[in-house]
Amino acid sequence: MSDASPTVPAYAGPRRILSGIQASGALHLGNYLGALKRFTALQDQAPTFVFVADMHAITVWQDPALLTAQTREIAAAYLASGLDPKKTVIFPQSAVRAHADLAWVFNCVARLGWLDRMTQFKEKSGKHKERASVGLYTYPVLQAADILLYKATEVPVGEDQKQHLELTRDIAGKFNNDFGVPGYFPLPEPVIQGPGTRVMSLRDGSAKMSKSDPSDQSRINLTDDADTIAAKIRKSKTDMGVMPQVGESLDDRPEIRNLIAIYAALSEQTKDQVTAQFAGQGFGAFKPALADLAVEALAPVTAEMRRLMADPSEIDRVLKDGAERAAEVADPVVAEVKKIVGFWQA
């Protein structure tokens, strides 16, 4: 008798891509390079679902009127960055009720120990986790529902979200095993690539560029005009040295490493190519070149965002149509999950 364990059937469904951005705070260069630009590149590869994560946003208190405005702003950024609503399903998370339905089932599949290991909750809740919302603690489970609801096989994520995607894989595997439906949910793979995946603060190269940073000088907002972008790059933190040589360690020069990574991502070059281009030069040469590059890349995005936000009817049409198309995929999955779990059905 063989001791080999039986092979578990793998997911055999179609390739699908899914991701989203939380509807809180202004979008910035890090969102553009780490997410928006990548979404646009992926939409021709497979059916793509991109949502505005407004349900995730309320894990901390949000002003209701501002949340609505930010949902539209993120949708405008999606469109302005090149997402085509004919190719990509663009929708607000809360407009598809199947997200909440599947999240509850997954809350009962996920284990407490798994959530206790999530480092982002520890970082966001700080020393007063007792005051944090239950939603902030369990939102990785909702994130798993977001992904598996569409049976997404690939998820563009930043390095800081890899742990949550691993949780998604654990939940999918446990559901498939617990209910005897091997291969029902896929085990999605992260899509992490390129030099701009993790863009750091312009004031502190050891901290991620963030819309929650109190200093507006720490980030380049997608709504900044050309003069503001140039000024922020000109004032960005550097050191007393010059641009490094190729192969030189930048472990003790995080701000320089970050600016090189931004230039590389915007110019679609490698970091070594950028380093070779500016090696030994002062920042008086590099920063203006980076500013020109950033303005050239972002100015069309900013202009289109402002056009869309001035008359949000076009955004609302895209979101409504996207929500309907998303529900067409999501609702049958939830209906089938309810049947698998054993919920009563008329």
pLDDT, tens digit, 9 for 90 and up, residues 36-62: 988 898 999 999 999 999 999 999 899
Has 124 been annotated as catalytic?
yes
Say which of 124, 174, 271, 338 is annotated catalytic: 124
Q: What are the structure tokens assigned to 57, written together?
A: 């946003």
**Bridge partner residues of 316 (DSSP):** none
Q: What is the b/e burial string over 155-184, where b = at least 16 CB atoms within 10 angstroms of the residue's CB? A: bbbbeebeebbbbbbbbbebbbeeeeeeeb
Q: Which of 87-101, 118-132, 245-259 has the lowest mean pLDDT?
A: 118-132
How far is it, in rounded angstroms, from Cα 63 to Cα 6?
Answer: 52
Compute the average pLDDT of residues 249-263: 94
> What Å distances lie between residue 65 and 23, 137, 252, CA to CA?
12, 25, 43
Q: What pLDDT, on the 0 to 100 scale, is given for residue 81? A: 94
Q: What pLDDT, on the 0 to 100 scale, is given for residue 1? A: 42
Q: What are the structure tokens assigned to 58, written together?
A: 């309320």
Say which of 174, 211, 271, 338 is annotated catalytic: 211
Has 87 been annotated as catalytic?
no
Percent of all residues in the chain with a pLDDT value above 70, rounded to a whole number = 94
Q: Express each pLDDT in 98-154 by its tens digit.
A: 999 999 999 999 999 999 888 777 777 667 777 888 888 899 999 999 999 999 999
Q: Express each pLDDT in 281-313 by its tens digit.
A: 999 999 999 999 999 999 999 999 999 999 999
Has 208 been annotated as catalytic?
yes
Q: What is the DSSP letter of 345?
A: -
SS3 labels along 293-342? HHHHHHHHHHHHHHHHHHCCHHHHHHHHHHHHHHHHHHHHHHHHHHHHHC
Cβ count within 10 A of residue 302:
20
Q: What pLDDT, on the 0 to 100 scale, is given for residue 6? A: 53
Q: Residue 214: which pLDDT band, with cuts at 50, 70 and 90?
A: confident
Compute the average pLDDT of residues 309-321: 96
Q: What pLDDT, on the 0 to 100 scale, is given for residue 5? A: 46
Q: What pLDDT, on the 0 to 100 scale, is given for residue 119? A: 79
> What Å distances lie between residue 52 and 70, 138, 146, 343, CA to CA?
9, 18, 11, 29
Question: Which amino acid is residue 118, in one-letter code?
Answer: M
Residue 3 has pLDDT above 60, yes or no: no
Helix-helix angle 283-310:226-234, to 10 degrees: 150
Q: What pLDDT, on the 0 to 100 scale, is given for residue 196? A: 55
Q: Express each pLDDT in 151-207 by its tens digit.
A: 999 998 776 678 889 999 999 999 999 999 999 999 999 887 655 568 999 999 999
Residue 240 has pLDDT above 50, yes or no: yes
Mean pLDDT of the chain: 91
How far is it, in rounded angstroms, from Cα 296 to Cα 221?
Answer: 14
Say which of 122, 127, 162, 208 is annotated catalytic: 208
What sign has the CA pseudo-torsion 144, 148, 153, 157?
A: negative
Q: Residue 10: which pLDDT band, with cuts at 50, 70 and 90?
A: confident
Q: What is the b/e burial string over 242-274, where b = at least 16 CB atoms within 10 angstroms of the residue's CB? A: bbbeeeeebeebbbbbbbbbbbbbbbebebeeb
